[in-house]
Amino acid sequence: MSSNSRQPDNARLDRVVADARRRSEQREKTYREQALAIYPWICGRCAREFDRTNLHQLTVHHRDHNHDNNPPDGSNWELLCLYCHDNEHQKLLEAAQRGPGTGASSPGSAPATHSPFANLKSLLGKKK
């Protein structure tokens, strides 16, 4: 009987996790490198210029916010500095919260089951 305390299953799991992580890092690295190869190292918002010393502050933004959409022609990428990238997502968040016509904060547009104005509406309609 061999009483090895090795745990091959754990080791395999570690490898799988590491592999998955490496793959997603590689994918990110790939589209970032591709974007940096296609576009000039300039922020698309504030026009700040970057070089090798501060390139880590230049990020790749996905125009449609889908990080899996990485067309090789770069049409879904936009180079933004950290601040502008942050702003860009903040803007989208705020826009999504406000939403065109779907604002839940306006009481007038709330769907009324028993509207006290339903009667009034028909009254007004009759008057007309």
Could you tell me whether strands 77-81 and 58-62 are parallel, antiparallel, or unpaired per DSSP bridges? antiparallel
Q: 47 φ, ψ to 5°? A: 65, 20
Least distance in angstroms from the C-beta of 81 to Zn ion: 3
Site for Zn ion in 13-52 (CB under 5 A): 43, 45-46
**From 1-9, 24-32, 33-41, 53-61, span contacting Zn ion (CB under 5 A):** 53-61
Q: 49 φ, ψ to 5°? A: -95, 150
Q: Is 81 in the site for Zn ion (CB under 5 A)?
A: yes
Instruction: Name the residue nearer to Zn ion (CB basis): 20 or 93.
Output: 93
Instruction: Name the residue nearer to Zn ion (CB basis): 82 or 112.
Output: 82
Work out whether the CA dihedral 40, 45, 49, 51 comes out positive or negative. Answer: negative
Cα(119)–Cα(15) distance, integer angstroms:
69
Instruction: Name the residue nearer to Zn ion (CB basis): 15 or 67.
Output: 67
Q: Residues in the site for Zn ion, rule: CB under 5 A?
A: 43, 45-46, 61, 81, 84
